[in-house]
Amino acid sequence: MNIRFAVVAGDYVRDILEQPAACERTELALAASSNQAAAILHLVETNAFDRIMLTGMGSSYHALHPLQIRLSNAGRFVQMIETSELLSYYPETLGKRTLTVAVSQSGDSAEIVRLLRDQLASGPVIGITNSVGSTLASCSNIAIVTAAGQEATVSCKTYLATLQALHWLGSTLLGQDPAQTQSELQEATTGVRSYLSQWESHTDWFVDQLAGIRQIFVTGRGWSLATAGTGGLILKESVRYSAEGMSSAAFRHGPLEMLTKQLLTCICLGDPRTAALNQRLHEDVRRAQGKSFLIDADSDQPALRLSKVLPALLPMVEMLPIQMISLALGARLGEVAGRFSIASKITNIE
């Protein structure tokens, strides 16, 4: 099946193809953020924070996984809690000795607005958003604004830009050379551009491979938990497909029993620490007659093959095959992927 005859061009497709340019713009914006970097370092050096709270909703929340790993491994006390849960069940953690990193691509989601306007976060807030005029940008102590550009529906280019900004923030907090950080981001953007240069053939391959599939799991470990969580979300949101994201280990605790030829498991191989475990899961799924894709830099299948990037930036390239799957599912269903029927771009009810 050729997707040229199956996919009706829509805003979501255009946003996906605009991702390399969005990443390049965000790289330039971050490289020019020396004032924010100095302000962040001054904030940390002049305050004895007990904890760093990472918070967001949806893909903005999942994008925080790599930053949590980096800061925790550097000896910082880091918590990562969805903003809705943070407001209702953990408000006591938001004292003056807590540095909050709040992420919202729109900057105006209901939970973020409540967090800031009701002054529930009494300590300093570093905000990361794609909207310069948003509540998050205007009410944060320090705002990091990405340059992904306007996005119509499902988060794609804003998600990659958020991952870039969070990587930059982590490098700033850990005192990394800005030139090294920029080089790492450029390498990841090159990987995004390389994969999307063949987007039509990738999606065509997925259209054929998804015949008979009724349910999808996206799994990974470590850095790739960002991909697992966001991947499950966008497949539901873009084409209303039954999909879940979870850790590869959690998949063995229950979902493994669901394996049939109608269930697809997309497994992110990840970095060397857990790659062998993910490879084993891929083999076990296939042995049980389930269908499994291993998303990897060394895959024999171009649609699953990623450019090699820094492990902390793997989610930037891992998300691309999931996006192609969403387009392929749209083609199989005969509908425009990314067209909302119930949801909206900005969630304004908690």
Q: Look up the CATH number of the domain holding residue 215.
A: 3.40.50.10490
Q: Which pLDDT band holds residue 138 (cuts at 50, 70, 90)? A: very high
Question: How would you label 195-209 residue by residue, b for 16+ Cβ within 10 Å and e otherwise?
Answer: bbeebeebbbbbbeb
Per residue in 233-289, pLDDT (tens digit) is 999 988 888 999 999 999 999 999 899 999 999 999 999 999 999 999 999 999 998
Give the pLDDT confidence score for residue 333 in this predicted structure.
Answer: 83
Residue 349 belongs to a domain: no
The residue range of the domain holding 91 is: 15-186
Structure-token pair, residue 103:
């992420």
Per residue in 208-227, pLDDT (tens digit) is 999 999 999 999 999 999 99
* Domain shared by 108 and 134, yes or no: yes
Give the pLDDT confidence score for residue 9 in this predicted structure.
Answer: 55
Selection from 347, 346, 345, 328 nearest residue 337 by Cα: 328
Give the pLDDT confidence score for residue 348 in this predicted structure.
Answer: 52
Residue 1 identity (one-letter amino acid) = M
Overall residue count recorded for the chain in this entry = 350
* Domain shared by 112 and 253, yes or no: no
* Domain shared by 74 and 129, yes or no: yes
Mean model confidence pLDDT for the chain: 92
Residue 43 belongs to a domain: yes
Q: Which pLDDT band holds residue 153 (cuts at 50, 70, 90)? A: confident
Distance, CA of 270 to CA of 293 (rounded, Å): 13
* Domain shared by 171 and 70, yes or no: yes
Domain end, chosen from 136, 163, 186, is at: 186
**For the chain, what is the domain count?**
2
Residue 322 belongs to a domain: yes
pLDDT beyond 50 at 345: no
Q: Pick left, alpha or beta for residue 133 (phi over 0 → left; psi -120 to 50 → alpha; otherwise beta).
A: alpha
Residue 343 belongs to a domain: no
Radius of gyration of the chain (CA): 20
Residue 242 belongs to a domain: yes
pTM assigned to the model: 0.94
CA 165, 171, 175, 181 torsion: positive or negative? negative
* Domain shared by 164 and 224, yes or no: no
pLDDT beyond 50 at 162: yes
Domain end, chosen from 131, 154, 186, is at: 186
pLDDT beyond 50 at 5: no
Give the pLDDT confidence score for residue 226 in this predicted structure.
Answer: 98
* Domain shared by 279 and 317, yes or no: yes
* Domain shared by 258 and 149, yes or no: no
